[in-house]
Amino acid sequence: MGHVPVFLHDLTFDELRDLLVADGLRPVHVKAVWNALHFRAETDLTARFDWVPPLRRWVAEKVTPEGGYRLDHLAVASHIPSGDGLTQKFLLRLQDGQEIETVIMGYTGRHTVCVSTQAGCAMGCVFCATGQMGFVRHLRPGEIVGQVLHAQRILRARGERLRNIVLMGMGEPLHNYAHVMKALDLISDTRGCNIGPSKISVSTVGVVPGILRLAEENRPYNLAISLHGSTEEERAALIPANQRWPLSELIAACRTYGEKTGRRIFFAWTLIAGVNDTPDHAQRVVALLQGLDAHLNLIPLNETAGYSGRESAEKAGDVFQQIILAAGIPCTVRQRRGIDVAAGCGQLKAEKNRPRREQPVLT
């Protein structure tokens, strides 16, 4: 059997330093390599002719397929800009040929990247194209970091900068907890990407053990919960994971999270005509969120081929929002981006190169 490659973007600063020292280099050289990988987002270390000879030799010998060290430079399989020019959807190819989607969204004065954490998803939400695709495998930390670095390269080339990261692409972040948290530690490191934790949002369909672990570890990232249903039956029909982690347990976990961290929780509600968009639904949402430091984001359904539901009428959404606001709960309608190129919430899906699936192991 061949050796397992080491992906340098998987490593923390200390792990990278230890690797260099084990290879006979001085610890001081870690700063140059880390800067190239995570701050400059370079894709080819052999181009660094300014490095000292021992470091250049290390790159020539080790950072090669034969040497066993590799970078997570994700190849662009396709790039589709939206008609309004504000959104760019990238299909990025991983080392094993699997493909994931990453979306750069432009807003006034800022840019956000929507990052995938898995190839496919095991949660099976009925209105989500990724859920309809099924689960293929978890992403490594470097594959998550690599998407952010890709977005930074794209934006820097235009004289713009990345401000926010949302883990709302393909996959359930809390199903891939350890790799996701390591990736976020790497991304928020002030010596590298330096995206502050307050600018990073982790979205979940309600993986209760993961939410409780976030609270226990006091992770500094924003937490976003996909709610979508106001009763157990209603939510289970949309989100099969509700059978594993019922709505009552989810809300209890949110209360524990709020008490332990003191942080606001952002809830997402996809408005589906005749399914969850009536005043009665809104009143039940108010009852669920009462006493929580909560913010509700309303998302008009982005239609997908695998789900017959339709977007709510604008008036129904307005009434829904007013009921939430009248109860004293902040509530906004999320700006839609990239719908024309299937880059909106719930629309991400990779069609090709699906290798044998890993068996999903739920927390």
- Summarised one tens digit per residue, pLDDT across range 215-244 is 999 999 999 999 999 999 999 999 998 999
Helix or strand holding residue 170 (H, E): none
Q: Report the distance separating Cα 16 and Cα 292, nearest Å.
A: 41
Q: Report the distance separating Cα 143 and Cα 165, nearest Å.
A: 15
Confidence at residue 334, expressed as pLDDT on a 0 to 100 scale = 74
Q: Report the distance separating Cα 346 and Cα 132, nearest Å.
A: 10
**C-alpha closest to that of 354 among 162, 180, 93:** 93
**C-alpha closest to that of 226 among 254, 268, 257, 266:** 268
Asked if 101 is an active-site residue, the reply is yes
The pTM score is 0.89
Confidence at residue 362, expressed as pLDDT on a 0 to 100 scale = 42
Q: In angstroms, how far is the first alpha carbon of the chain from the final one?
A: 31
Confidence at residue 353, expressed as pLDDT on a 0 to 100 scale = 46
Q: What is the largest CA-CA distance in the chain?
A: 70
Question: What's the DSSP call for residue 264?
Answer: -
Q: Report the distance separating Cα 111 and Cα 29, nearest Å.
A: 32
Confidence at residue 125, expressed as pLDDT on a 0 to 100 scale = 81
Asked if 114 is an active-site residue, the reply is no
Q: Whose structure tokens read 């982690």?
A: 245
Exactly one of 114, 125, 193, 345 is catalytic; name it. Answer: 345
Q: Report the distance separating Cα 249 and Cα 13, nearest Å.
A: 38
Q: Report the distance separating Cα 92 and Cα 150, nearest Å.
A: 9
Q: Whose structure tokens read 């979306």?
A: 103
Positions of the chain with pLDDT under 50: 1, 337-349, 351-363
Exactly one of 99, 101, 172, 303 is catalytic; name it. Answer: 101
Helices (H), the chain: 13-22, 30-34, 53-62, 129-133, 141-156, 177-188, 208-217, 232-238, 247-261, 279-289, 314-326
Q: Answer positive or negative: Cα dihedral of 164, 310, 282, 259.
A: negative
Q: Report the distance separating Cα 186 and Cα 231, nearest Å.
A: 38
Q: Please, which residues have CB within 8 angstroms of residue 207's CB and are 6 or more apart in sequence? A: 172, 174, 175, 241, 245, 362, 363
Return the percent helix, strand and coil in the chain, to nearest 5: 40, 20, 40
**Bridge partners, 70 (sequence order):** 7
Phi, psi of 35 (to 5 degrees): -60, -40
The token pair that represents 103 in the structure block: 């979306």
Q: Please, which residues have CB within 8 angstroms of residue 355's CB and are 6 or more apart in sequence? A: 96, 97, 98, 136, 137
Confidence at residue 82, expressed as pLDDT on a 0 to 100 scale = 82
Phi, psi of 149 (to 5 degrees): -65, -35
Burial environment of residue 93 by CB neighbours within 10 A (0 to 12, 13 to 18, 19 or more): middle
pLDDT digits (tens, 9 = 90+) for 82-125: 877 788 999 999 999 999 999 999 888 899 999 999 998 888 88
